[in-house]
Amino acid sequence: MILSGNPPRGKLLTALLILVVVVLALAPFLFPGSKPANVAAKICVFALLVASYDLLLGYAGIVSFAHTMFFGIGAYGIAITLYALGPSWGAMALGLGAAVVVAAVFALAIGLFSLRVQTIFFAMVTLAVASAFAVLASQLSWLTGGEDGRTFRVPEVLRPGFRLIENGPFGITISGRTLSYYLVFCSVVVLFLVMLRIVESPFGRVLQAIRENPFRAEALGYRIIYHRTLANVLAAVFAACAGALNALWLRYTGPDTSLSFNIMIDILLIVVIGGMGTLYGAIIGAALFVLAENYLQTLMGAAFGALNASGAGFVANFFNPDRWLLWLGILFIFSVYFFPTGIVGKLRAEPKS
């Protein structure tokens, strides 16, 4: 029931999902240290962000390039209020609330303005709006801190210095950092389950019907504009929440961590490789992607070094760790062609055949 009647299906997929979730749930105790914690938190945030994007791309069949804008609105909402009002829970709630409202209004405006027309038009308009927003955020330095962004303090309980349990049973220590992580993790879990509920609701079914055949859905009496705009607003709100969580974890918000087009590309890569229109793909995809981002590059670095040493300088450039997007891009293209439902689709299909 907690999964809204939409279990992952497929033994391997279920096992994989359980593994990811359990590891994430126990991450602070399994892998102490700051790098693994950052990796785990990033996986959580991206799972939520990508799932919200999947709501648009996979379920409603809308391509938007403004998703980082909403992510950024959430991040800046938290950053600006905590920076201006000081570290209190009230400021945090205000920031989150304001961000959600702003994101919803923006999404509504863009949706009403351009969702009437083709997919392509919407994609282009969102791209233009998002780039203008990113420029604005980096220029209005009195509000956003400009290119430097805003570093802010979080409430006492969430700070690294805070100790809830020091050297408790089994020698565990629960610091403010651990609590921050669980705040992120639990929020992501709850929001993800809400999204799962949404796509399985009648509203979600209609979205899928519109994606499959807009004319028929309209003929059956469902207003396309209404459903698409609502999907856009919902996705924006979830993305803003993801942005707020990310800002809380990093205790910093800047254009690079919240608004850059690279994040948009990351989202696209994750949602397609993980599996469009599955939601679970977001979890698997985000886990794989963030792990690859942090650990595959080390591997590529080794290959780069080896090739460089063997004199194949030119070929080596393609294995430079900075070029890892090249390989992901190729994987992305192949995914769109050969397995559009991504990893999740592949894992689901196999037991049947």
Partner 1 sequence: MSAIDTGAALPQQKTDYIPVLLPIALALLAFPLVGSFSTWTTLTLAGLAMGMMIFAMASGLTLVFGLMDVMNFGHGAFVAVGAYVAVVAFAPMGALMQSPSLAANLMALIPAMLLAMIVTGVAGYVFERLLVRPVYGQHLKQILITMGGLIVIEQLLYATFGPQLNPLPLPAALRGSIPLGAAAIEKYRLLAVVVGLIVFLALQFTLTRTKLGLLIRAGVENGEMVEALGYRIRRLFIGVFMAGSALAGLGGLMWALYREQAHASIGGEMMVTTFIVIIIGGLGSVGGCFIGSILLALLANYAGFLAPKVALISNIALMVAVLLWRPRGLYPVTSR
- Tokens read off for 335: 């995914």
Closer by beta carbon to partner 1, 102 or else 124: 124
E strands in the chain: 150-151, 163-165, 174-175, 252-253
- Regarding 120 and contact with partner 1 (CB under 8 A), the answer is yes
Closer by beta carbon to partner 1, 170 or else 314: 314
- Regarding 261 and contact with partner 1 (CB under 8 A), the answer is yes
CB under 8 Å to 272, separation ≥6 — which residues?
332, 335, 336, 340, 342
At closest approach, how far in Å is the CB of 304 from partner 1? 11
At closest approach, how far in Å is the CB of 144 from partner 1? 13
Q: How many residues touch partner 1 (CB under 8 A)? A: 38
- Regarding 118 and contact with partner 1 (CB under 8 A), the answer is yes
Q: Using the 8-state DSSP alphabet, how is residue 4 labeled?
A: T
At closest approach, how far in Å is the CB of 340 from partner 1? 7
Contact 17, 8 (CB under 8 A): yes
- Tokens read off for 130: 């998002």
- Regarding 135 and contact with partner 1 (CB under 8 A), the answer is yes
Amino acid at 36: P
Strand-pair category, 163-165 with 174-175? antiparallel
Measured CA to CA, the distance from residue 276 to residue 117 in angstroms comes to 22
- Regarding 337 and contact with partner 1 (CB under 8 A), the answer is yes
Strand partners, 175: 163
Closer by beta carbon to partner 1, 203 or else 324: 324
Of 11-19, 152-160, 173-181, 331-339, which part binds partner 1 (CB under 8 A)?
331-339
At closest approach, how far in Å is the CB of 139 from partner 1? 6
Contact 249, 180 (CB under 8 A): yes
String marking each residue 61-80 x if it binds partner 1 according to CB under 8 A? x-x-----------------
Residue found under tokens 């595959």: 296
- Regarding 268 and contact with partner 1 (CB under 8 A), the answer is yes
String marking each residue 273-312 x if it binds partner 1 according to CB under 8 A? ----------------------------------------
- Regarding 28 and contact with partner 1 (CB under 8 A), the answer is no
At closest approach, how far in Å is the CB of 6 from partner 1? 22
DSSP letters of 110-153?
HHHHHTTS-HHHHHHHHHHHHHHHHHHHHH-HHHH-GGG-EE-P
Kindly tell me the burial class for residue 170, based on how many C-beta atoms sit within 10 Å of its own C-beta (0-12, 13-18, 19 or more). exposed
Measured CA to CA, the distance from residue 342 to residue 353 in angstroms comes to 17
Task: Enumerate residues 88-117 that contact partner 1 by CB under 8 A.
Answer: 113
Of 30-38, 145-153, 172-180, 314-322, which part binds partner 1 (CB under 8 A)?
314-322
Task: Give the H or E element holding residue 218.
Answer: helix 214-219
- Regarding 332 and contact with partner 1 (CB under 8 A), the answer is yes
Closer by beta carbon to partner 1, 247 or else 272: 272
CB under 8 Å to 84, separation ≥6 — which residues?
91
Q: Contact positions toward partner 1, by CB under 8 A?
A: 57, 61, 63, 113, 118-121, 123-125, 127-129, 131-132, 135-136, 139, 261, 265, 268, 272, 317-318, 320, 322-323, 325-326, 328-330, 332-333, 336-337, 340
